[in-house]
């Protein structure tokens, strides 16, 4: 069983409520570079997610999709480039492989406004589903316990498992556990949801339970970055789709264009293999 610190897992204390233009992106990445030692895995990526937009990141394993998501949430340090949250640039100290965020309070403000939904559900086995969803608002945000419980029940109803409040994670299917993880993220009232392969650990039937929830959230106009292997979901829910290849954006655009009339040979090959009947 894995344990995560409140900052890593329970990510959503509010940033300043200062009014921002609707044009100000929630997340903006400029010329991002990320390396592990001598291995450069992100080689200069630009990405913008505005309020209410759903951005899907697709590509082969090792193309850098999840790394970009983790850099955006400051779970990984990048070596070059800028990351801005609601117009606020991350302050960096050092350079190259020694570069890291220079303001811990800023990191907390930014990271806790982005709820990360992981491939593995990361629910606490010793807490009920309701307690799992309540934990972050009470512990991190300092919300009243009764208020947090009401909110948690509401979000568990929203994802279709309101009747599972009093059971433990081990008593749920994988799809139900992932829906609980989504409810936990929503309960923090985040500025954006970051999904890292949310359905890849599920069998096809359970996968569709989670896909439905994500589609419903997209229809509500929530800001989301989704790393996914599910091309149908990416085509259905995205406002903008980004195809990554070897750490670079090979092609991007509206899903109708990207999936219906791909330009690059590499994307054509990728779609041919992933969308084959």
CB 161 within 8 A of CB 152: no
The pLDDT value given to residue 10: 39
* Residue 21: per-residue pLDDT: 55
Helices (H) and strands (E) in the chain, counts: 10, 12
Q: Which fold has domain 52-74+104-274?
A: Rossmann fold (3.40.50)
Domain locations along the chain: 52-74+104-274
Confidence at residue 19, expressed as pLDDT on a 0 to 100 scale: 44
CA atoms of 202 and 61, how far apart (whole Å): 17
Q: How many CB atoms lie within 10 A of CB 125?
A: 10
Yes or no: say if 28 and 48 are a contact pair by the CB < 8 Å rule: yes
Query: What local confidence, expressed as pLDDT, does residue 140 receive?
Result: 85
The answer to whether the beta carbons of residues 115 and 185 sit under 8 Å apart is yes
Q: Which distant-in-sequence residues (6+ apart) come within 8 Å of 204 by Cβ?
A: none
Please report, in angstroms and rounded to a whole number, the separation of the first and last CA atoms in the chain: 37
**Among residues 218, 260, 212, 220, which one has the least CA distance to residue 239?**
218
pLDDT under 70 in the chain at which residues? 1-22, 276-277
Looking at residue 77, what DSSP letter applies? Answer: -
Which residue from 47, 8, 2, 9 is spatially nearest to 27, judged by alpha carbons? 47
pLDDT of residue 120: 87
């Amino acid at each position: 069983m894995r344990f995560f610190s409140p900052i890593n897992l329970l990510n959503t204390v509010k940033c300043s409520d200062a009014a921002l233009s609707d044009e100000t992106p929630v997340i903006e990445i400029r010329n991002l570079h990320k390396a592990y030692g001598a291995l450069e895995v992100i080689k200069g990526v630009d990405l913008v997610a505005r309020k209410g937009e759903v951005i899907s990141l697709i590509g082969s394993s090792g193309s850098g999709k999840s790394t970009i998501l983790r850099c955006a949430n400051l779970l990984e340090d990048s070596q070059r480039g800028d990351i801005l949250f609601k117009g606020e640039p991350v302050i960096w100290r050092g350079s190259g492989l020694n570069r890291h965020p220079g303001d811990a309070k800023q990191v907390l403000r930014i990271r806790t406004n982005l709820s990360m939904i992981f491939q593995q559900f990361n629910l606490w086995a010793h807490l009920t589903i309701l307690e799992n969803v309540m934990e972050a608002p009470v512990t991190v945000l300092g919300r009243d316990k009764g208020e947090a419980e009401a909110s948690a029940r509401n979000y568990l109803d929203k994802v279709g498992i309101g009747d599972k409040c009093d059971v433990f994670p081990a008593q749920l299917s994988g799809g139900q556990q992932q829906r609980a993880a989504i409810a936990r993220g929503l309960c923090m009232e985040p500025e954006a949801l970051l999904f890292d392969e949310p359905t890849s650990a599920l069998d096809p039937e359970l996968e569709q339970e989670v896909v439905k929830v994500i589609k419903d959230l997209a229809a509500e106009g929530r800001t989301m970055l989704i790393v996914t292997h599910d091309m149908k979901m990416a085509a259905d829910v995205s406002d903008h789709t980004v195809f990554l290849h070897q750490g670079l954006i090979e092609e991007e655009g509206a899903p109708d264009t990207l999936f219906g009339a791909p330009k690059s040979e590499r994307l054509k090959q990728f779609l041919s293999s992933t969308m084959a009947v």
